[in-house]
């Protein structure tokens, strides 16, 4: 089959916007860092808001900072079709994770308006606040608020500098006590559709530019604190030590073994801090995070139980204390069969074989699955790389993904 005909959206406009946005938060290392409620995020939202206005959309931000561009349909009061993603990034991240979904939705809706395509339902392009969770160690703040599930506890979560979500919101002019107003009523959203880079290698292996997502693996984030005894590196015999880092290292290896024993489970220790942190001091405390995922919640939680047991046994055997804090627990979700079918029809129209695949990465749609049907489209990632500067999807593949999104939105909004 042909690799996908692009005869509606403006691929040059899409690409130039993607490259312009990627310069906001650019690091010397070549990556992008745009944390939520920061100057960089504000600059990114201002730029996208200006493009939304150029596209003829009515633009607003809700109480949690979600940026929304609306195109009314024939029935302005009909349930809205949401399409978008996020503008925040991981530290030193790539150009496409998030922005492709926001700017792709904008390009699709701008094309619908420019071509005078009639649609019954209003369509809203949305850039969700803080999807990544890179600043406050739990993510999807904007989509939780839109689903009405952001809690007062969430607003008290602190970043590495002790700044709470609420304080960070106030620092950019938002009112945390108003977040409830961002929630959408049941029945008010017809569907949520997101275009995103795959961040894996399935499409590349199948030599396909785009694919249809069947479901999203659920991320469980935990923080482990191993508490031993700091001591002199030179005078403390090995048998008398309570070395927190040595114990933590044993737990990290147990984490890897537990996940590797399953078919799809993945486990990552992405952050580790040792204190006091002197060359000649036995670590008294080792703190690390665990990101544990599977598309099957039962399997994920069984692996979690096993890891907790192993960690308790290792620390007990060494005479150390262990504290485990849950940072976020997001259940895996399935994408709507109806939306997957609409997407497959559009793919076939474009001459693309409709390949279905799960998402190992988490996405805002997970928070909306209780509110409305959710659907996701993936665009091929070069070597499956993401969350670092080498993240790359070609202009052609991005355009094919956006053309597919455009055709899907035209169908879903009618």
- Full DSSP string of 256-294: HHHHHTSSS-EEE---EEEES--TTEE-SEEEEEEEEEE
- Candidates 40, 62, 97, 364: give the one binding Mn ion (CB under 5 A): 97
Indicate which of Mn ion, ligand HGY, none lies near residue 227 (CB less than 5 to 8 Å, by partner kind).
Answer: none
**Closest distance to ligand HGY from the beta carbon of 93 (Å):** 9
Between 215 and 362, CB nearer to ligand HGY: 362
Looking at 40-48, 131-139, 161-169, 342-350, which segment touches ligand HGY (CB under 6 A)? Answer: 131-139
Nearer to ligand HGY, 9 or 290 (CB): 290
Q: Considering only 94-102, 149-157, 165-173, 370-378, which stretch makes contact with Mn ion by CB under 5 A?
A: 94-102
Which partner, Mn ion, ligand HGY, none, binds residue 233 by CB below 5 to 8 Å per kind?
A: none
Q: Which is nearer to ligand HGY, 51 or 136 (CB)?
A: 136
- Residues near ligand HGY (CB under 6 A), total: 6
130 binding ligand HGY? (CB under 6 A) = no
243 binds, options Mn ion, ligand HGY, none, Cβ within 5 to 8 A by partner type = none
Q: CA distances (Å), 6 to each of 84, 109, 176, 349, 392, in order?
A: 20, 15, 43, 11, 20
Nearest residue to Mn ion by CB is 97
What span, in angstroms and rounded, lies between the C-alpha atoms of 141 and 147? 10
C-alpha dihedral, 342 to 343 to 348 to 349, nearest 10°: 70
Interaction of residue 131 with ligand HGY, rule CB under 6 A: yes
Closest CA relative to residue 216, chosen from 378, 100, 57, 75: 378
Number of Cβ within 10 Å of residue 227's Cβ equals 16
Indicate which of ligand HGY, Mn ion, none lies near residue 139 (CB less than 5 to 8 Å, by partner kind): ligand HGY
Under a CB-based contact definition with an 8 Å cutoff, are residues 135 and 36 in contact? yes
- In 77-217, where do the E strands start and end? 80-86, 123-128, 189-197, 210-216
Residue from 69, 101, 228, 362 in contact with ligand HGY (CB under 6 A): 362
Question: Rounded to whole angstroms, how far apart are CA atoms 365 and 376?
Answer: 8
What residues from 191 to 220 belong to the interface with ligand HGY (CB under 6 A)?
219
Running DSSP on this structure, what letter comes out for residue 121? S
Query: Which residue's CB is nearer to Mn ion, number 8 or number 359?
Result: 359
- Contacted by 130, from Mn ion, ligand HGY, none: CB < 5 to 8 Å by type: none
| 342 lines the binding site for Mn ion (CB under 5 A) | no
User: Judged by CB under 6 A, which of 132, 243, 287, 304 binds ligand HGY?
Assistant: 132
Token digits of residue 388: 């670092």
Could you give the CA distance from residue 125 to residue 193 in angstroms, rounded to a whole number? 10
DSSP track, 361-394: S--THHHHTTTS-EEEEEE--GGG--SSTT----
Binding-site ranges for ligand HGY (CB under 6 A):
131-132, 139, 219, 361-362
Binding-site ranges for Mn ion (CB under 5 A):
97-98
């Amino acid at each position: 089959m042909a690799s996908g005909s692009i005869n509606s959206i403006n691929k040059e406009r899409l690409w130039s916007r993607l490259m312009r946005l990627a310069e906001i938060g650019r690091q010397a290392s070549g990556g992008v860092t745009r944390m939520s409620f920061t100057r960089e995020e504000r600059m990114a939202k201002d730029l996208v808001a200006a493009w939304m206005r150029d596209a003829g959309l009515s633009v607003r931000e809700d109480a949690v900072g979600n940026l929304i561009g609306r195109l009314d349909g024939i029935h302005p009061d009909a349930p809205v079709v949401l399409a978008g993603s996020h503008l925040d990034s991981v530290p030193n991240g790539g150009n496409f994770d998030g922005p492709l979904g926001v700017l792709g939705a904008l390009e699709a809706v701008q094309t619908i308006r420019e071509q005078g395509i009639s649609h019954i339902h209003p369509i809203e392009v949305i850039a969700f606040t803080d999807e990544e969770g890179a600043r406050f160690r739990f993510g999807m703040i904007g989509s939780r608020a839109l689903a009405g599930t952001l809690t007062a506890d969430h607003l008290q979560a602190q970043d590495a500098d002790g700044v709470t979500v609420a304080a960070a919101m106030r620092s950019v002019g938002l009112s945390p006590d108003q977040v409830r107003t961002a929630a959408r009523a049941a029945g008010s959203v017809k569907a949520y559709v997101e275009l995103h880079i795959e961040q894996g290698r399935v499409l590349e292996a199948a030599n396909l530019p785009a694919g249809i997502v069947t479901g999203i693996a659920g991320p469980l984030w935990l923080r482990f604190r191993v508490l031993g005894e700091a001591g002199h590196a030179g005078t403390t015999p090995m048998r008398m030590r309570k070395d927190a880092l040595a114990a933590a290292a044993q737990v990290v290896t147990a984490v890897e073994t537990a996940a590797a024993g399953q078919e799809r489970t993945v486990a990552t220790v992405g952050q580790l801090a040792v204190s006091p942190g002197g060359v000649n001091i036995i670590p008294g405390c080792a703190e690390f995070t665990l990101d544990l995922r599977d598309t099957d919640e039962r399997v994920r939680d069984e692996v979690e139980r096993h890891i907790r047991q192993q960690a308790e046994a290792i620390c007990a055997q060494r005479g150390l204390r262990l504290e485990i804090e849950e940072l976020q627990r997001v259940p895996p979700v399935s994408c709507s069969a109806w939306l997957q079918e609409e997407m497959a029809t559009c793919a076939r129209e474009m001459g693309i074989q409709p390949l279905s695949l799960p998402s190992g990465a988490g996405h805002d749609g997970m928070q909306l699955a209780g509110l409305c049907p959710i659907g996701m489209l993936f665009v091929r990632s070069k070597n499956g790389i993401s969350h670092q500067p080498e993240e790359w999807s070609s202009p052609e593949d991005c355009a094919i993904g956006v053309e597919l999104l455009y055709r899907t939105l035209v169908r879903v909004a009618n």
